Amino acid sequence: MKSSKPPFETTTLWDFPTQNYGSRPHGDNKFRGVTPAFIIWNLLQRYTNEGDLVVDPMCGSGTTIDVAKELNRHVIGYDIAPYRDDIIQNDARNIPLKDNSVDFVFIDSPYSNNIEYSDHPADIGKISCEREEFFDELDKVAKEIHRILKYGKAMAWLIGDHWRKKSGFIPVGFKLYQILLKYFKTIDIICIVRRHQRSNTPIWHERAKKFNFYLRGFKYLFIMKKLKADS
Ligand SMILES: C[S@@+](CC[C@H](N)C(=O)[O-])C[C@H]1O[C@@H](n2cnc3c(N)ncnc32)[C@H](O)[C@@H]1O
Give the pLDDT confidence of 152-184 residue by residue, as tens digits: 999 999 999 999 888 899 999 999 999 999 999
Query: Higher confidence at residue 2 or residue 70?
Result: 70
Classify residue 167: in a domain, yes or no: yes
> Residue whose CA is closest, atom 13 of ligand 1?
58
For ligand 1, what atom is nearest to the CA of residue 125?
15
The tally of domains found in the chain comes to 1
∠ CA 18-110-191, rounded to 5°: 50
C-alpha triplet 32, 1, 45: angle, nearest 5°: 60
The residue contributing the CA closest to ligand 1 atom 17 is 123
106 pLDDT above the threshold of 80: yes
- The answer to whether residue 109 is domain-embedded is yes
Rounded CA-CA distance 28/34 in Å is 7
Q: How many A from CA of 1 to the centre of ligand 1?
A: 32
Q: In the structure, which protein residues have their CB atom closer than 6 angstroms to any atom of ligand 1?
A: 27, 31, 33-35, 57-61, 63, 79-81, 91-93, 108-110, 117-118, 122-125
Taking only the tens place, the pLDDT of each residue in 22-79 is 989 999 999 999 999 999 999 999 999 999 999 999 999 999 999 999 999 999 999 9
pLDDT of residue 113: 93
Strand duo 218-225 + 185-193: pairing? antiparallel
Q: Note whether residue 231 is domain-resident.
A: no
Residue 8 belongs to some domain of the structure: no
Q: Around Cβ 107, how many Cβ atoms within 10 Å?
A: 22
**pLDDT recorded at residue 3:** 53
Q: Tell me if 2 is assigned to some domain.
A: no
DSSP state at residue 88:
E
* Domain hosting residue 206, numbered range: 13-225
Q: Dihedral through CA 212, CA 190, CA 177, CA 96, nearest 10?
A: 130
Q: How far is CA 221 from CA 86, 89, 155, in A?
A: 26, 25, 10
Q: CATH code at 170?
A: 3.40.50.150
Q: Does residue 203 lie within any of the structural domains? A: yes
Check if the beta carbon of residue 63 is closer than 8 Å to that of residue 44. Answer: no
Examine residue 158 and state whether it is found in any structural domain, yes or no. yes
